[in-house]
Amino acid sequence: MSDNEPKKKLVGPWQTIHGVIWVIGIYFLWTRSWWWPGILVLVAISALYEAFVRRFIPEGYIEEKPTSVPTPDQVNPQPEVIPSPVTPPTPAFQEHRIDLLPQVCPSCNAPIRGHEVRWTGTQSANCPYCGTNLPMNKA
């Protein structure tokens, strides 16, 4: 096949049969532990099958559509103006006050650690074990 001929690929039941040849071939190689040179034999059988279909069943192939890259003259000279989405202003850095957390949960008596709680606000957190809103200590 020359460079100017369009590429073709198998379609329909011919593609399925080609897949079955490979599955059966790999299974046979696996059960017999005949990987080398068995894989070369399987590739040869696959190539012979494709040559047979190409020669005697031309409708078993369709032409692949080439993917074309637009040339500069095909590109729109005036780019579209896409409005940028309005992003809300980012809030100032909110620091969690770990020093205000109690030592234990008043509901389940589990130990409270700052990296384990689920923060619901800058000075509000829930217990990681029972989910109770924790009362903060006075600053």
- So what's the pLDDT on residue 30? 86
Say whether pTM exceeds 0.85: no
Model confidence band, residue 117 (pLDDT cutoffs 50, 70, 90): confident
Domain ranges (residues) in the chain: 8-63, 96-139
Mean per-residue pLDDT for 121-138? 85
Is the distance from CB of 112 to CB of 101 less than 8 angstroms?
A: yes
- So what's the pLDDT on residue 21? 86
pLDDT digits (tens, 9 = 90+) for 36-84: 888 899 899 888 988 887 777 777 766 666 666 666 655 555 666 666 6
